[in-house]
Every structure is written in structure tokens, then in C-alpha cells.
């Protein structure tokens, strides 16, 4: 039998899908998202033209439809098309009525060729039976010997009270093919949702506890650790020079087109492997020594790179208000290019104290999926480290692998303090980055001859193959005159 996609991308990547005819026990505390996950599974099938069945013992159809529509799933439309059969079984209170309903369900699955079934909830259903041995008999007869043999993948939703060590009577876990338990924890005053893959007979599981989010549109977003084997080779269609970008800032103009090397899919010439060049999809660390502010450098580089490459640029800051970065960026762009960047640059911000690392990972993924930038800046990551500690490392390693896979050139802007030793996160960033750029301020001087204010910077650009150091002079006057820096 084949595998049925759940519509939850990362869960499908991990499990391959749900086998046809499989019985899945989906348990969890109240409010953890059980109905949403099961509904997403049904919705995916109906979107692909499959007949699906939802039998609900706990919620009126109108309430269910309304809630699911708020998550982006229009079940009423699917019902109108004849793809969804929704059974409202709120009035069933005795075993005789329950058995009649289950027989009707099995008949409908057989006649309509239903591929996906959800029972919400089996806990209520078994409470009607009230006997452990009878409950096991019903599960065996109607689901294992019934729907399973008909090839219908069935999700049995079960309530899992706080503190309970087993689901329902305990017999349910032994007869099903898979067990998924949803949990909601409170961490630093914030809700943290966890999906435990307790059992999946058809899949080999290593990571069994995964953070997930409930969001409109996606419904369920599971945050699976990224695997390096999923990352494709670097994209060689465009190669950019970091020092050319620096020269563009110095000249306040776009470099000659010859400096943008279009390779059209051919391997890069050997000389382009020099560390001052980076490929599309590169992950780049910019380490700012004390005295260089990320609030100054991030919009400056973003404006220059957008003008230089023509790529869409996005900034996500964890310490600077977006209106400040946006105003500085537009001002700097006008100095460099003499025009406005229009909608080619997106600026967003998030307070790291308001999110857990898993929430921030979801935020990063969503921003990249919605805006599709070619170049992405993460500013203020040193602040995440101070607040969330080692969890920040997992956040950024998975971000790096994901964005490398998506082909998004990403700059991790880390502003150092005066600590004598490098922080652990900075060492992790150096290990994962394709290109490491250290920027150190030198002297600031005013030239008496023409009144120019010049800031000298030392660049150390490192790659696995080589290292280059250079000193650049940056004339501040045009930016100060237009009040771009504050």
C-alpha cells in the first residue's frame, strides 16, 4: 500500500506520510491541536479529490467548520463538492446507538471508497462502552478488522489528561500502527507545543519529540531538525565579490557590470574560489568588533547589496526597531543609488524575550517563505544568545541549513562586546559559515584639506581555503549630511 501525504511538509519528510489502511492514535491534552492536525490530514486528501469522513462525538459541525476556516481550511466547500462526509454524533449515549453508527460508518467507507477517516474522539466513544475488554473488542472489530482492511487510513483522537501515563484504557496503543502525542508546556511564561512520535511501525524514528506551531494557512508547522544531506550544492549562477560591495559603498555607485559574474550554471573559474567571493545561498558571518554598530552596518550593507545585485533583500532584527532600520536604509540607498529601493527591501523585527527559539525559527521560515528574498540579514543574534543561551545554537544551525537549502544568501550580523574570549555562539557561527568577515574600527579622522570625515575599517575575510585582510576608508559626510546615521 502507498503512503498518504498529511499536508504537513516536514512531518511527511520525516515519516513519508501515513500508510493506507494504517490506524493512528492521536492523543493530547485539551487544546493541544489534535483536531487541527487530524483535520489537516483530511483536508489534504480532499484537496486531491479523495473522499474523506469525519465523525465527531464532541463538537457541532458549525463550530468545527468555523474554527477550521479560521486556519484556512474551508470544509463547507468540500462538503458541497461531495468530497467530505461529516457526521455529527453528539446525541449518541448508549452502546446500541454507537454500534449502529460504526456500522453505518464502515458501510459508507466501503461504498464511497473513502481513503481517510477521523474519529473525534475515541475517548468519548469508549466512555459510552464503559468496559475495557469490550472497548478492545470494538477497536479490533471496527477499525483493525474493518477500516484497515478496506484501506482507509484512520486517525483516532484521544484525550490525554494532564499527568496521565497511558492513553484511555491503555489497550488503544497496542492495536494501532502509530501513536502521536501532542503536549503543551509552559516555558518562561510562553506556550511551547511538542509533538511526540511515540510509535510509527512503518518508519525509522530518531528524533521523537518535535516542536510545532499552529498557524493559519499551514495549520500545523512541525520544526524538524535539518539534515545536511538535504542541502543541494551551492548555486553557481551568480558569484558576488564582497570587496566589490565595499568599493561600491566607497564610490557611492554601482560597480561595473563586469564585476557581477554570471556563470549560467557553469562551474566557477578557479580564481573565483578566493574568499572575497560568495555564491548565491552562502551563509556569511559578519562579526563586528566593539565600536562598530550593527544598526549602522546592517542597513548600509543591505542597501548596497540590493543596488549591487538587484536581489530582493530582507532584514529581521532582534534588537533594532524596524522603522529605524527602514529609515536609515532608505536614506543610505538614496546616497548610494540616488533613488529609493521601493519594495525590494523588507524590514521586520522581533523581541527575543517574547519568543522561544522554536517560535523564532518558525518566524524566520515564514518570513523567507512569504517574501522570498535572495539576500537575508539576521541582526542582533548576540542578544538572542544572552536571553536563550545554548538553545540559540540549535536555532541558528537549523536556520543555516534551511536557508542554504532554499538558496538564500544569509548574513548573520553579530556585534561583539568587550569580553576577552569569544562567546560559544560566535565559535559555532564561525564553524558553520562559508565566509567569515571580521570588521574592526580603526581611527576616525577629519581631513583639514576638504573637511571630509573618514572612518577607517579593517576587514578580515576568511574562508576554508585562504584569508585576506584589507583596510578601507569610509567617508561619512554624505550620510551625515542626509542624517542617515543616528
pLDDT in tens, 342-362: 778 999 999 999 998 888 999
Q: Is residue 311 in some structural domain?
A: yes
Number of domains in the chain: 2
pLDDT tens digit sequence for 417-438: 656 567 888 889 998 998 898 9
Q: Is residue 279 in some structural domain?
A: yes
Name the grid cell of 160: 490525554
Q: Which of the given ranges, 37-51, 260-274, 413-427, has the highest pLDDT on average?
A: 37-51
Name the grid cell of 455: 572612518
Q: Is residue 469 in some structural domain?
A: yes
Q: Is the pLDDT of residue 173 over 90?
A: no
Q: How far apart are CA 26 and CA 157, in angstroms?
A: 5
Pair 216, 285 in one domain: no
**Domain closes at, from 155, 189, 224:** 224
Q: Is residue 292 in some structural domain?
A: yes
**Residues constituting the chain:** 486
Pair 46, 158 in one domain: yes
Pair 288, 354 in one domain: yes
Q: Is residue 486 in some structural domain?
A: no
Q: Is residue 117 in some structural domain?
A: yes
Pair 373, 236 in one domain: yes
Span of 165-169, 270-274, 476-480 with lowest mean pLDDT: 270-274
pLDDT of the residue at 162: 67
Q: Is the pLDDT of residue 38 over 50?
A: yes
Pairing between β-strand 345-349 and β-strand 453-463 as defined by DSSP bridges: unpaired
Q: How far apart are CA 323 and CA 317, in angstroms?
A: 11
Q: How far apart are CA 107 and CA 147, in angstroms?
A: 10
Task: Please work out, in degrees rounded to the nearest 5, the angle formed at the alpha carbon of residue 289 by the alpha carbons of 430 and 477.
Answer: 125
What average pLDDT does range 241-251 have in this prediction? 54
Pair 235, 216 in one domain: no
CATH of the domain at 153: 3.40.50.300
The parent domain of residue 300 ranges over 229-481
Contact by Cβ (8 Å): 161, 125? no
Higher pLDDT, 89 or 339: 89
Contact by Cβ (8 Å): 282, 369? no
Pair 191, 52 in one domain: yes
Higher pLDDT, 240 or 36: 36
Q: For the chain, give the mean pLDDT.
A: 84
Q: How far apart are CA 350 and CA 168, in angstroms?
A: 41
Phi then psi for residue 268, to 5 deg, are -70, 140
Pair 72, 24 in one domain: yes
What average pLDDT does range 131-157 have in this prediction? 87
Pair 236, 210 in one domain: no
Pair 442, 457 in one domain: yes
Pair 220, 233 in one domain: no
- Using DSSP's 3-state secondary structure scheme, residue 199 falls into strand
Q: Is residue 442 in some structural domain?
A: yes
Higher pLDDT, 452 or 265: 452
pLDDT of the residue at 5: 96
Q: Which of the given ranges, 61-65, 146-150, 330-334, 383-387, has the highest pLDDT on average?
A: 61-65
Q: Is the pLDDT of residue 67 over 70?
A: yes
**Domain closes at, from 158, 192, 224:** 224
Closest-CA residue to 193 (of 221, 207, 213): 213
Hey, which residues does 3 pair with through a beta bridge?
Answer: 19
Whole-structure pTM over 0.95, yes or no? Answer: no
Q: Is the pLDDT of residue 472 over 80?
A: no
**Domain closes at, from 166, 193, 224:** 224
pLDDT of the residue at 389: 87
Contact by Cβ (8 Å): 412, 285? yes
Span of 263-267, 324-328, 360-364 with lowest mean pLDDT: 263-267
Pair 219, 269 in one domain: no
Pair 208, 250 in one domain: no
Q: Which of the given ranges, 185-194, 243-252, 313-322, has the highest pLDDT on average?
A: 313-322
% of the chain residues with pLDDT over 90? 45
Amino acid at each position: 500500500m502507498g503512503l498518504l501525504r498529511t499536508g504537513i511538509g516536514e512531518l511527511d519528510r520525516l515519516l513519508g506520510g501515513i500508510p493506507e489502511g494504517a490506524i493512528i492514535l492521536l492523543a493530547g491534552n485539551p487544546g493541544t491541536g489534535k483536531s487541527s492536525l487530524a483535520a489537516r490530514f483530511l483536508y489534504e486528501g480532499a484537496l486531491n479529490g479523495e473522499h474523506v469522513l469525519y465523525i465527531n462525538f464532541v463538537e457541532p459541525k458549525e463550530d468545527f467548520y468555523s474554527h477550521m476556516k479560521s486556519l484556512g481550511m474551508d470544509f463547507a466547500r468540500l462538503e458541497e463538492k461531495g468530497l467530505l462526509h461529516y457526521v455529527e454524533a453528539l446525541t449518541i449515549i448508549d452502546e446500541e446507538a454507537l454500534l449502529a453508527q460504526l456500522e453505518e460508518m464502515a458501510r459508507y467507507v466501503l461504498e464511497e471508497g473513502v481513503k481517510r477517516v477521523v474519529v473525534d474522539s475515541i475517548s468519548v466513544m469508549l466512555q459510552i462502552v464503559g468496559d475495557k475488554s469490550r472497548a478492545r473488542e470494538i477497536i479490533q472489530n471496527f477499525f483493525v478488522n474493518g477500516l484497515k482492511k478496506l484501506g482507509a487510513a484512520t486517525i483516532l483522537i484521544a484525550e490525554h489528561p494532564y499527568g496521565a501515563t497511558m492513553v484511555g484504557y491503555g489497550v488503544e496503543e497496542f492495536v494501532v500502527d502509530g501513536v502521536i502525542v501532542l503536549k503543551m508546556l509552559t516555558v518562561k511564561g510562553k506556550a511551547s507545543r511538542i509533538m511526540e512520535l511515540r510509535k510509527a511501525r512503518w518508519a525509522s524514528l530518531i528524533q521523537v519529540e518535535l516542536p510545532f506551531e499552529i498557524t493559519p494557512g499551514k495549520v500545523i508547522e512541525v520544526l524538524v531538525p535539518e539534515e545536511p544531506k538535504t542541502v543541494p550544492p551551492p548555486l553557481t549562477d551568480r558569484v558576488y565579490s564582497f570587496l566589490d560591495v565595499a568599493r561600491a559603498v566607497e564610490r557611492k555607485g554601482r560597480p561595473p557590470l563586469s564585476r557581477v559574474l554570471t556563470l549560467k550554471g557553469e562551474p566557477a573559474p578557479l580564481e573565483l574560489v578566493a574568499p572575497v567571493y560568495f555564491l548565491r545561498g552562502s551563509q556569511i558571518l559578519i562579526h563586528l568588533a566593539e565600536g562598530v554598530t550593527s544598526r549602522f552596518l546592517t542597513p548600509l550593507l543591505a542597501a548596497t547589496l540590493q543596488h549591487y545585485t538587484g536581489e530582493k533583500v530582507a532584514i529581521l532584527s532582534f534588537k533594532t526597531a524596524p522603522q529605524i532600520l527602514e529609515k536609515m536604509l532608505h536614506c543610505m540607498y538614496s546616497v548610494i543609488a540616488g533613488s529609493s529601493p521601493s519594495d525590494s527591501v523588507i524590514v521586520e523585527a522581533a523581541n527575543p524575550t517574547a519568543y522561544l527559539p522554536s517560535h523564532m525559527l518558525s518566524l524566520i521560515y515564514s518570513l523567507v517563505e512569504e517574501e522570498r528574498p535572495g539576500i537575508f540579514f539576521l541582526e542582533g543574534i548576540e542578544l538572542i544568545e544572552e536571553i536563550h543561551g545554548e538553545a540559540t545554537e540549535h536555532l541558528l544551525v537549523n536556520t543555516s541549513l534551511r536557508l542554504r537549502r532554499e538558496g538564500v544568501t544569509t548574513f548573520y550580523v553579530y556585534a561583539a562586546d568587550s569580553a576577552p574570549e569569544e562567546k560559544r555562539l560566535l565559535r559555532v557561527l564561525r564553524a558553520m559559515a562559508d565566509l567569515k568577515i571580521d570588521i574592526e574600527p580603526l581611527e576616525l579622522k577629519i581631513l583639514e584639506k576638504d573637511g571630509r570625515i573618514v572612518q577607517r575599517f579593517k576587514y578580515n575575510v576568511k574562508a576554508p581555503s585562504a584569508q585576506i585582510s584589507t583596510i578601507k576608508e569610509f567617508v561619512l559626510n554624505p550620510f551625515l549630511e542626509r542624517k542617515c546615521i543616528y
